[in-house]
Amino acid sequence: MPIHYVYLVIAILFEVTATSALPASQQFTRLWPSVIVVVGYCLSFFFLSMTLKVMPVGVVYALWSGLGIVTVAIVGYFVYNQKLDVPAVLGMGLIILGVLVINLFSSTTGH
């Protein structure tokens, strides 16, 4: 796996961690969940910027946000007991399909 994909995966993991900690921060009134949110987003953007050395911003953002959306929904399901209806699952399936199309068929991903 090329290093820019490793940076992208790390950026997604930090973004998912930060976003998942948002409910626990209770509108930034709880210290440690709030620290996780701020540090997680800062690290996510740092690793996202490393990915941008090789890949175009539009493709990077599509992959980062799309995979982040799906992963946060999965975390929300298991951690916060947030249920997803059929349209939500179908929509997320389309996001995953879009990520696959970009990675398999686009020449702009820096393969």
Q: What is the pLDDT of residues 47-99, one digit of tens each?
A: 999 999 999 999 999 999 999 999 999 999 999 999 999 999 999 999 999 99
Is 75 within a domain?
yes
DSSP percent split of the chain into helix, strand, coil, nearest 5:
80, 0, 20
What is the number of structural domains in the chain?
1
Element (H, E) at 55: none
Q: Is residue 110 part of a domain?
A: no
Q: Is residue 111 part of a domain?
A: no
* Of 69, 60, 68, 71, nearest in space to 103 by CA: 60
pTM of the model: 0.91
Residues of the domain holding 71? 3-105
Nearest by Cα to 41 from 57, 22, 23, 54:
22
